[in-house]
Amino acid sequence: MFGDSPNKKGQEIEPTPVLVNWLLDSDPAIRWQVMQDLTSAPAEEVAAERARVATEGWGAELLALQGADGRWANTAWNRGWNSTMHVLMLLRDFGLDPASEPAQRALRLVREKVTWQGSGPPECDDNPFFAGELEPCINGQVGAAGAYFGQDVQGIVDRLLGEQLADGGWNCEAENGATRSSFNTTICVLEALLEHELSAGSRPEVTTARRRGEEYLLARHLFFRKSTGEPILRDRKGNAAWTEFAFPTWWHYDVLRGLEYLRRAGVVPDARLTEAIDLVLSKRDSNGRWPLEAHYPGTMPIELGETVGQPSRWITLRALRVLNWYSAGK
C-alpha cells in the first residue's frame, strides 16, 4: 500500500553524523535518548545527560510549574494538556529519572496531596491521585506515569485487568455497552501494564492480559479493520488520523505510538508489521528526518518548539528507534 520498503530485516538504519548532530542540538530530554539509542555514547555520559532533564530545559520548566498543593494547573485532570496527569505523562516521555531528588519531591507532593476532587466522577472525589478514577483510558495514563515513577498503582492495574474485553483490548465506552475494543484505550492501558511490570516485576495475569492486548493490535496490523482488511485512516472519536504522527500523543493512538509500544515491550517483529513499517518509511524526507504531522488542540503546559509540517526531532528519534528494532528482528 505504501510502496516497497528499502529497510529489510537485518539492515539497520544508520543515521548520518549530520542527522545525529541535528537531533543532539536540542533539549536534554531528547539528547539523552539520542545518545542512548542512536549512538555509542558511554553509559556514564548518557546518565549525566539524563540527569540534566531535572535541572535544565523542558523538564525543569515543568517541575517548576507544580503548585504547593502538588497539582499542575490546579487539577488532577482536565481536557487541556496541562493538568497533573498530563504533565506527569510528559515527564515520563522526557525520561526524567524517577530516582532524582526533584522527581522524588514532585511525586511525593502528588502522592500525599492530590485527589480527584472536581476532576472526575463525584464518587472518585476522595480518591488519591494514584488510585485513579473510573475511565480506563485515563486510568491507563495515570497508571503508566505512576508506575514509571515508582508509585503504587496496583489498584489501577487490578481494575484494568477486570475491564479487558473479549477481543483482547479495552474501550472506555464499555460502560455504555461497547463490546469491541478501542485502539485509543487499548494503547493507554497497554502502556500502563508494561510500565507496571517494568517497575514492580512481572505477574502472570498482567503478562497474559498484555499479550492479549498486543495481539489485538497485531491481528489488525496496527491500523486495519480485522473484519474487512481496510486501513483505518481516521479515528471515529476525535477524527484523529492514525497514519499521521504526533508528539505528544496524549490519549490518541497512532501507528508510530503502537510501534513504539511494541518495541519497548520486546515484541519480536513479524510480517503483520510490514504495512506499519512501510508507512513510517514513506514519511522520511531526503535529509533522513520525519515531520510533525499532528498537534492536538489544547493548552500545553510548555511549548516544545515544533511546528506541524516541519521536521520534528521527537518524531525522528522515535521513528529511527522503531526502524532499528524492526530491522534487528528483536
Region 181-190 average pLDDT = 97
For the chain, percent of residues with pLDDT exceeding 70:
96
Whether residue 4 has pLDDT greater than 70: no
Whether residue 236 has pLDDT greater than 80: no
Instruction: Name residue 128's amino acid.
Output: P
Closest to 151 (Cα-Cα) out of 134, 135, 131: 131
Asked whether 146 and 128 are in contact (CB, 8 A), the reply is no
For every residue of 264-320, DSSP letters joined together read HTTPPP-GGGHHHHHHHHHT--TTS--B--B--SS--SS-----TTSB-HHHHHHHH
CB count in 10 Å sphere of residue 173:
16
If phi > 0 it is left, if psi is from -120 to 50 it is alpha, else beta; for residue 191 that is alpha
3-state DSSP assignment of residue 121 = coil
pLDDT tens, position by position, 29-69: 999 999 999 999 999 999 999 999 999 999 999 999 999 99
Whether residue 105 has pLDDT greater than 70: yes
Domains and CATH numbers, the chain: 17-328 (1.50.10)
Count of residues in the chain: 330
Q: Quickly tell me which residue has 480518591 as its cell.
A: 127
> For 143, phi and psi rounded to 5 degrees?
-65, -40
In this prediction, residue 1 carries a pLDDT of: 41
